[in-house]
Amino acid sequence: MKPDLSDQYILITGSGRGLGRHAALHLASCGAIIGVADIDAGNAEQVAGEITSNGGKAKAYSGDMSDRKAFMAVAADFAKLGGRIDAIINNAMLLRYSPVQDVDEDTLSAMLDIGIKALFWSAQAMLAHYDKKRGGCIINLASPVATRGFPNTSVYSTVKGAVTMFTKTMAAEFGPQNIRVNAVSPASVPTPGSLGLNSKEEYEKRAGWIPLRRNGTEEDNSNAIAFLLSKEASFVHGEIFNVDGGVSACN
Ligand SMILES: NC(=O)c1ccc[n+]([C@@H]2O[C@H](COP(=O)([O-])OP(=O)(O)OC[C@H]3O[C@@H](n4cnc5c(N)ncnc54)[C@H](O)[C@@H]3O)[C@@H](O)[C@H]2O)c1
């Protein structure tokens, strides 16, 4: 059963494609009003258009969400729609793997900026625009690589390690202010971004060793996000919610 998220104003970064796009469509189908923010303007418009043509409500935003001014401007405009922001989902990321000797400065900066710095802007935007009585939610996108070493993922894994720690720190800092902070940690979901890192053959192999013997889906991830946003999860806070078929627990 889908949770009732009607009247929730939810801003999702990187929701022009992949997991963010699916979450945008799914949460809109639960009644939420979605801010679809992506660096790719065309994709953001397309997703917002899909939501409205399905009878939902959404507004598209294009911009580099690692830039503080851009993040705050998007948040301020989105907050005008309903007078508040109820949730921010920090989904945007630049997915790149390489051996550490090949890491170049531009890619490193871009990944750290959107993967880590944007989380700080989201926290500031939440403080600026949430309704203190209703409370707020932040959901970050973590990964099993945050807790285990995998070769060639040094930048990506460092970012996700920071996402995990930021989630716990902000749970401690924001809990008393009625803002819940959690993360979902999906694994092995073929998306436009992850298919640039792993081939289809690699995904087929993974389905053989993931404990539940399949890859993840965008729907698995969106269901977990919807639950974390729901009133049924009102005491779930500081959680890194594995949606990974058992990868983190068993491998
Ligand atoms: N796919 C997986 O298996 C998997 C597993 C664990 C975690 N994740 C995390 O889930 C999130 C989504 O991943 P995905 O697989 O859908 O990737 P994706 O590359 O398909 O989608 C990422 C989106 O973020 C946008 N984006 C990138 N930089 C941006 C910026 N600076 N400002 C605004 N938007 C920007 C992109 O344009 C794209 O639309 C990421 O945080 C990723 O690390 C994915």
Tokens of 161: 């390690």
* Rounded alpha-carbon distances, angstroms, from residue 183 to 24, 40, 139, 243: 16, 24, 5, 10
Q: Is 156 a catalytic residue?
A: yes
Residue 65 in contact with ligand 1 by CB distance below 6 A: yes
Contact 137, 87 (CB under 8 A): yes
Distance (Å) of CA 45 to CA 39, 51, 99, 133, 201? 11, 10, 35, 32, 32
| Pocket residue to mutate for ligand 1, from 12, 13, 89, 95, most atoms within 8 A of Cβ | 95
- The domain segmentation of the chain, as residue ranges, is 9-250
9-250: CATH topology is Rossmann fold (3.40.50)
The single residue of 9, 61, 130, 156 carrying the catalytic annotation is: 156
pTM over 0.95: yes
Helix (H) or strand (E) holding 182: strand 179-186
Q: What are the tokens at 238?
A: 């500081």
Model pLDDT, residue 1: 81
pLDDT in tens, the chain (251 residues): 899 999 999 999 999 999 999 999 999 999 999 999 999 999 999 999 999 999 999 999 999 999 999 999 999 999 999 999 999 999 999 999 999 999 999 999 999 999 999 999 999 999 999 999 999 999 999 999 999 999 999 999 999 999 999 999 999 999 999 999 999 999 999 999 999 999 999 999 999 999 999 999 999 999 999 999 999 999 999 999 999 999 999 97
User: 149 CA distance to ligand 1 centroid (A)?
Assistant: 20
CB distance 60 to ligand 1 below 6 Å? no
Residue type, 130: Y
Length, in residues, of the chain? 251
Residues contacting 235, CB < 8 A, separation 6+: none
Q: How many CB atoms are closer than 10 A to CB 173?
A: 12
| CB 140, CB 163: distance < 8 Å | yes
Determine whether 161 is exposed, middle or buried from the number of CB atoms within 10 Å of its CB (0-12, 13-18, 19+): middle
